[in-house]
Amino acid sequence: MKAEISQLLQQAVKNLQSQGKLPDDINVIIRLENTRDPAHGDLACNLAMMLAKPAKSKPRDIAEAIVAELPVSELVEKVEIAGPGFINFYLNAGATASIVKQILEAGENFGQSKIGHDKNNKPKKIQIEYVSANPTGPLHVGHGRGAAYGATLSNLLSTAGYQVHREYYVNDAGRQMDILCASVWLRYLELCGEEFEFPANGYRGDYVWDVAATLHRENGDKFRHPWPIAKNLPKDEHEGGDKEEYIDAIIEHAKTLLGDDYHFVFELGLNYLVADIRDDLEHFGVEFDEWFSERSLMDSDSVKTALDLLQENDHVYEENGALWFRSTNFGDEKDRVVVRDNGQTTYFASDIAYHLNKLERGFDTVIDIWGADHHGYVPRVKAGINAMGQDENKLKVLLVQFAVLYRAGEKVPMSTRSGQFVTLRELRKEVGSDAARFFYVMRKCEQHMDFDLDLAKSQTNENPVYYIQYAHARVCSVFRQLDEKNMQYDETVGLDNIALLTETHEQALITKLSRYSETIESAAKNYEPHQIAYYLRELANDLHSYYNAHHFIVDDEKIRNARLALISATRCVVANGLKILGVSAPESM
């Protein structure tokens, strides 16, 4: 509806410009808002007030001129000017009611749009990278919010007409993976009968024992070395030493003692955890088109290519044996190391190489979904993109705040390295995937989130996902009741008599349905899937209010089928919206 009314206003402005009543070079931005009070119409526009200054005229005078030039439309019942110059549109009830037919005809495709198409009507290509947790342990509830947000945003953008490529970046190189490998090997040594104090900086979760047990079960004592594994190990933290220096020494000795077998242990841990993460996400309804390996960047010389580009453009320099990127020239707070003094490339070097790879694959937009603690990393990555001669504006970074769990009003403690955390799998088992997916996207991604476990499990109207799913199930129950009474639903009769639905609850529901498509477009443009969650909550409220106020299976055939058509359309929109959110639409509850 907003698109049609916007076109009417644009035509009115053009007419006034052709008559010399408005400047030809005036910047026309049309914003239509849904009114809160039906007494003020359905849609309100502040265009006259926006044009007042450049037109050097009073807003109300401009509003009167615009209204006088509005083309006649069957959508509009009347137009009024309110206050200093608001233009209020009252929509024709019959024209608005046609949305029911549109929904039923489109079915599961209703709400799809082409805002994601270019001027040649081809879908724009968007790559979305999300989750991308280091494969050093199972996913926890913090990863869950990024997973739910990324998957939902991908669904939303696809619905809006974009061609979406979902990607997980597997950090399968670097120090953290070496710490995991060393942790697995040390647990394996314990299973072989070796006794020692486990490093303070090692990974301590039960999953490390699981991988070590597999290694021991399948290989016996093949990789066993007596403890101490070296005569001159530095002191660990519990001995008053430096835990970082200690774990690094363990890693180096593991590589020396195991030789080529180190890679076997490394791959076992990596493959175990990547498979576990993949399985966890699939059960959460999150799947990817590609799992991109960080090591593939090195195997393909992509990192070298990126560094060569920086050098060719004179954006790197040597200092103290290391190679530095002049990121301060692009707004970063300090320059960054890309090659350490030992010749090893940094994680940052891999990251800018990865982004170069993304852009060279031809995506129109590249979206990274990161944890909020990575906000300082954004300018340096953009600096790298810019320095390599790419368009940094193609990169959009969306930051997701951590989710804090509460049970019985008490905060649930979390500590990742010690293994004291709630996994995503545990959350799914406790509250269910539907509740978890919905609760994670109820708020803007950058807003702090308190996750109330008790509320998510409750079967009450206060639980928004239960309330919305119950609306869908309620409509299904009406049609079951119809079958039990041996009565038939005639959709054609219903659509022919939609105009008979003049009750307040019916008009409110029709109006809400007419706003679904614009909600999809607004949510997609702003990367805000929480708008869909809010909309569905309001739609469910209108349906429940209608259900409680009126009977649907009445004797009057025309009224009965019209009402059934209306709630059938509502059921369709609820199901479509829940599908975007990754939530099921049950037929009974």
pLDDT digits (tens, 9 = 90+) for 272-327: 999 999 999 999 999 999 999 999 999 999 999 999 999 999 999 999 999 999 99
- Interaxial angle between packed helices 59-69 and 47-55, expressed in degrees from 0 to 180 and rounded to the nearest 10: 110
| Domain assignment present for 134 | yes
pLDDT tens, position by position, 322-356: 999 999 999 889 999 999 999 999 999 999 999 99
pTM above 0.85, yes or no: yes
Mean pLDDT of the chain: 94
| Domain assignment present for 119 | no
Strands 322-325 and 316-319: antiparallel
Mean pLDDT lowest among 66-70, 138-142, 421-425:
421-425
* Domain end (from 400, 434, 452): 400
Give the per-residue pLDDT at 92.
84
| Domain assignment present for 537 | yes
318 CB neighbour count, 10 Å cutoff: 10
pLDDT mean over 383-391: 96
How far, in Å, CA of 8 to CA of 293, rounded?
51
Residues 472 and 571 in one domain: yes
**Residue 119 scores a pLDDT above 80:** yes
pLDDT mean over 457-483: 97
| Domain assignment present for 424 | no
User: For the chain, how big is the Rg over CA atoms in Å?
Assistant: 30
- Structural domain range at position 16: 2-91
pLDDT mean over 130-137: 95
Give the per-residue pLDDT at 417.
47
Q: How many domains does the chain have?
A: 3
Please, is 170 exposed, middle or buried when counting C-beta atoms within 10 Å of its C-beta (0-12, 13-18, 19+)?
buried
Record the tokens describing residue 224, joined without a space.
Answer: 């066993």
* Domain end (from 400, 431, 450): 400
The CATH number for 45's domain is: 3.30.1360.70
How far, in Å, CA of 138 to CA of 421, rounded?
10
Residues 86 and 129 in one domain: no
**Residue 25 scores a pLDDT above 90:** no
The CATH number for 312's domain is: 3.40.50.620
| Domain assignment present for 496 | yes
Residues 561 and 474 in one domain: yes
Residues 482 and 548 in one domain: yes
Residues 149 and 297 in one domain: yes
Give the per-residue pLDDT at 415.
56
| Domain assignment present for 291 | yes
Closest alpha carbon to 137 in 291, 332, 312, 280: 280
